[in-house]
Structure 1
Amino acid sequence: MTGPTVVSGVAGVAPEAARTTAPPAVPTATAADVADVNDALLHGELDRDSVLRLVARGVRRGLDATACAVSTLERDGTLVVRAADGRVRPDLVGTSVPVTDSLAGEALRRCEAVIADSGQATAWSGSVLGPVLVVPIPGRARPGGVIEVADVAGTGSTDSTGTTESTESRRYGPGDVRTAGLFAGAAGMAVEHDRASAELELAAAVLGAAGGEPLPQTLRQLSAAALTGTGGLAAAIYLLDDNLTLRRAAGAGPTELLEDSAAGAAPNVAQAAVASRAPIVHQHVHSEGGGGVGAHRRTTALVCVPLMSRGVVLGVLCCLCPAGSYPGRRELAYLSMVAGKAAMTVDSSHLVASAQEKAAQEERQRLARELHDSVSQALYGIALGARTARESIGQEPERIDQPLAYVLQLAEAGLADMRALIFELRPQALAEEGLVAALGKQLAAFRVRHGVRTRAVLGNEPAGAFKVKQTLYRIAQEALQNAAKHANARNVLVRLEASPTALTLEVADDGVGFDPGASYPGHLGLRSMRERVSELGGTLEIHSAPGEGTRIVARAPTGLWP
């Protein structure tokens, strides 16, 4: 048995060099299989393993072989079978392929195809094989993996006329290597897409674990990812403002090259990409050395990919390729993926800002109603009482105490209302003073405003996340308003209990009660309370019946983990 034969200069080369090789003529059936793989890549309809299954099928059929397996090279240096076609073990996919002292390892080390004669055996087959061909899958930072194709000894292969050829006489040659190489390039694109997506997902997970970074920080990371995934010189993300003008939001590398190296073309090309809603590649030829006989010509390529989300263009990603290179389909597909991540990030930021603005607007409207209903009425009553007291001074001095007492009562109520509203406008005070103090002030304002007797069982300040305490404060606020406006309660109890894992708030009144299962159109308070506590993973219980008062119990996890 002779050693493996290495076929040089055909497969396993860098993607840029591979694109300079003139494609050989291939059979119509193989060309159709290659077209299927390329369509799957370009349209992004299939994941990596689905594309690799098409590759395994196409290579096996194109080489008229018995079996084919496609393995990817993992970060730890192992090979894992991702797809197989033909006569292989049923449990082959997902198993590891040895790299040391194997044909696959030899092909990876040399970055060239390896051919072995009959008598070889592979771990992924479990059978003695005839001739074996191993073609490396190209990659950028590291090889993508290998494509192994073989004939099981004794079975032979069948040609297009139906004639069976013995595996002993079968030999793989440069033509077979070229055919497999057509699929190896496509497999490399699928593997690189998957690697890049995993890296971006990891970056997003890290950002999320850190509590979420500001939008510029995330866009800077995506700009850097555009460079590392394509080998570009500089990248930047531009966002459309309200005047539909592109403003640079983030960048990586010497971003001034985006304008200088392309003769100031970046803004124009970016606007064209936004207008066309499709990626645009702009080439520019520079003449260096004065433009004379000895002048040197240098070509640069600028890629601009629009940021699209929900059918709307939000901006554009621009990437400058190294001098003398031109972006291929792999680079364009990768930049499109990065642009998609950026678009989702920007769109999510817009949605969050919109939701926050809506919540702030609703809170302002509620406070305006409160000011009108309580403080304005209190001020009107104070003015009326003061006029009555002034008139009584000259006419009935002995009766002046009554209007003055009325004025003082209204002034105290208005002051309590104003303090409560100011407290609500300053939510940071909840973090500074604590939930117990906040509930105490809220009850004091409620007692003065509505003349309802209150009882508080609050204890010491409990441990808990600020968001949890803020939610319970809002629930207590809503429950007290319901007790005053709808229940006509005379007594209200507010109780706060804490355990190592949860906080429990109870608000009970002796009002008229109601049927919790009935529908009350236009009354959103109860639904609002449920939504608030459910966002924390907690529960809300409502115990009430007509004539029996109401008791609301809200439980929420503390939001603190060891």
Structure 2
Amino acid sequence: MTGIGRNELRAVSAAVLAVATHLSVRDVLRTILTSARRLVGARYAALGVPDDAGGFAEFLADGVTDEQWAAIGPVPRQHGLLGVLLHDTKPVRLDDIRAHPRFEWWPAAHPVLTDFLGVPITDGDEIVGEIFVANKTADGGFTEQDEELLALLAAHAAIAIVNARLHERARELSMVQERTRIARELHDAVTQKLFSLRLAAESAATLAGRDSARAAAQLDLVRALAAEVSDELRAAVVGLRPPDLAGDGLDSAIGKQAELLNRVHGVDIVYRGGDVPRLTTTREEAVYRVLQEALHNALRHASAHRIQVDLRVHSESVVLEVSDDGTGFDVEGSRDRRLGLTSMRERARAAGGRLRVTSTSPGGTTVRLEVPVGG
């Protein structure tokens, strides 16, 4: 790439590395846009991702304040020069945008644009967006070198947009699979119990007036079956797949899970989160799965009235603690929980972390997981 000097290449490299630290597509596109405006020395920059209705699914601007952006009004439509860049793969470089035959107008609060450089964002032959800059801060307008730089950043924007599409499709597929799994589990585990519960209730109603002892026995069966159905439904909720940890982050995802289970079970689940750094995908999922298993055990076995969940950073590690005030159990000898404890320990080991479970009866149980931030 002739024409781009060493300093510019270093700046582009820094911009690309900055892009890699973001996970949401909007953050990625924002970083690209800010880098573009700075690298080519423009007063204004914008980036748009079109929708299928003649507008933009995403439209970001850089160089205007929030107040200016609000005064400008609604996001633009795919008209004028914006429409050109969405239908022609060739860049557009102008000394004055107002001289272009497709120039139309802008709102009264819109800044006045003069020199202009726009580049389509392409994935193969498909145009997936556009990025443009305006009003060069140095004399002479935008150059061929500026065009090369903008094209380079447009290529990275294309990767971000395509990856976001693939992620969204994968998420939708995962949701469909999860709904299918839950439906299957509810059918297999709950439907038969509900049928038995209905028969027991009808039998109790029939016997109520002529055999009170047998009616009472049937009502005991109704209570037992209802409790089993309740447990199966709760297990289905606890077994839900992790949310979008990449988008939500551990703090938000754990908070949402605690809030959900609080509503479902009616137990006082208190979450104290913190601003924890991002971990690898494997480590974040391990923390979330250990949380689920610890909550499941506390809710199903401990007869707890209060469960406290803490997430924090300590000595270069992210620490998760789940503590309950329940009945406690024998950590080494409890058959009911051994499989869950084994699973938690395996997850901790695979994530390079450490798991410690302490329990007293009475007194309650604490599950503590530490996973390293780096390494």
Band of TM-score, shorter chain = 0.5 to 0.7
Per the TM alignment, residue 346 of structure 1 is displaced from its structure 2 partner at its CA by: 2.4
- Structure 1 residues 195, 423: closer, same or farther in 2, change over 3 A? same
Distance in 2 (alpha carbons) for counterparts of 1:466 and 1:358: 32
Distance in 2 (alpha carbons) for counterparts of 1:248 and 1:422: 34
After superposition, residues 158-307 of structure 1 pair within 5 angstroms as: 186=2, 188-191=3-6, 194-205=9-20, 208=21, 212=22, 214-246=24-56, 249-254=59-64, 267-284=79-96, 300-307=114-121
Q: Deviations over 1:51-90 (max 9, x none)?
A: xxxxxxxxxxxxxxxxxxxxxxxxxxxxxxxxxxxxxxxx
Contact 2:33–2:46 (8 Å) recurs in 1 = yes
Distance in 2 (alpha carbons) for counterparts of 1:466 and 1:365: 34
Contact 2:235–2:296 (8 Å) recurs in 1 = no
Question: Which residue number in structure 1 is paired with residue 170 of structure 2?
Answer: 355
Q: Does 1:315 align with 2:129?
A: yes
Contact 2:258–2:270 (8 Å) recurs in 1 = yes
5+ residue gaps, structure 1, are 1-40, 42-185, 288-297, 446-459, 470-489, 506-531, 539-556
Contact 2:238–2:296 (8 Å) recurs in 1 = no
Distance in 2 (alpha carbons) for counterparts of 1:266 and 1:312: 16
- SS of 1:305's equivalent in the other structure is strand
Q: TM-score, normalised by structure 1?
A: 0.41
Per the TM alignment, residue 412 of structure 1 is displaced from its structure 2 partner at its CA by: 1.1
- Structure 1 residues 393, 303: closer, same or farther in 2, change over 3 A? same
AA matched with 2:50: L
- SS of 1:270's equivalent in the other structure is helix
Question: Which residue number in structure 1 is paired with residue 219 of structure 2?
Answer: 404
- SS of 2:371's equivalent in the other structure is coil
Distance in 2 (alpha carbons) for counterparts of 1:247 and 1:462: 35
Q: Which has the higher contact order (CA 8 A, sep 6+)?
A: 2
Bigger Rg over Cα: 1
Per the TM alignment, residue 235 of structure 1 is displaced from its structure 2 partner at its CA by: 0.6
- Structure 1 residues 535, 493: closer, same or farther in 2, change over 3 A? closer
Question: Which residue number in structure 1 is paired with residue 233 of structure 2?
Answer: 418
- SS of 1:559's equivalent in the other structure is strand
After superposition, residues 463-474 of structure 1 pair within 5 angstroms as: none
AA matched with 2:345: T
Distance in 1 (alpha carbons) for counterparts of 2:94 and 2:228: 70
Say which structure is richer in helix. 2
AA matched with 1:559: V
Distance in 1 (alpha carbons) for counterparts of 2:44 and 2:113: 15
Distance in 1 (alpha carbons) for counterparts of 2:310 and 2:98: 70
Provide the aligned length of Structure 1 versus Structure 2. Answer: 275
Distance in 2 (alpha carbons) for counterparts of 1:427 and 1:365: 21
- SS of 2:136's equivalent in the other structure is coil
Q: TM-score, normalised by structure 2?
A: 0.59
After superposition, residues 430-469 of structure 1 pair within 5 angstroms as: 434=291, 437-441=294-298, 444=301
Distance in 2 (alpha carbons) for counterparts of 1:442 and 1:227: 53
Contact 2:318–2:373 (8 Å) recurs in 1 = no
AA matched with 2:116: L
Distance in 2 (alpha carbons) for counterparts of 1:315 and 1:301: 21
Q: Deviations over 1:17-73 (max 9, x none)?
A: xxxxxxxxxxxxxxxxxxxxxxxx3xxxxxxxxxxxxxxxxxxxxxxxxxxxxxxxx
Instruction: Tell me the C-alpha RMSD between the 2 structures.
Output: 4.4
AA matched with 1:195: R
AA matched with 1:303: L
After superposition, residues 75-94 of structure 1 pair within 5 angstroms as: none
5+ residue gaps, structure 2, are 100-111, 241-255, 262-268, 272-290, 303-308, 323-334, 354-368
Question: Which residue number in structure 2 is paired with residue 496 of structure 1?
Answer: 341
- SS of 2:132's equivalent in the other structure is strand
Distance in 1 (alpha carbons) for counterparts of 2:57 and 2:7: 31
Q: Deviations over 1:225-267 (max 9, x none)?
A: 212211222110011124252355222114989xx9xxx9994
Question: How high is the sequence identity, in percent, across the aligned residues?
Answer: 22
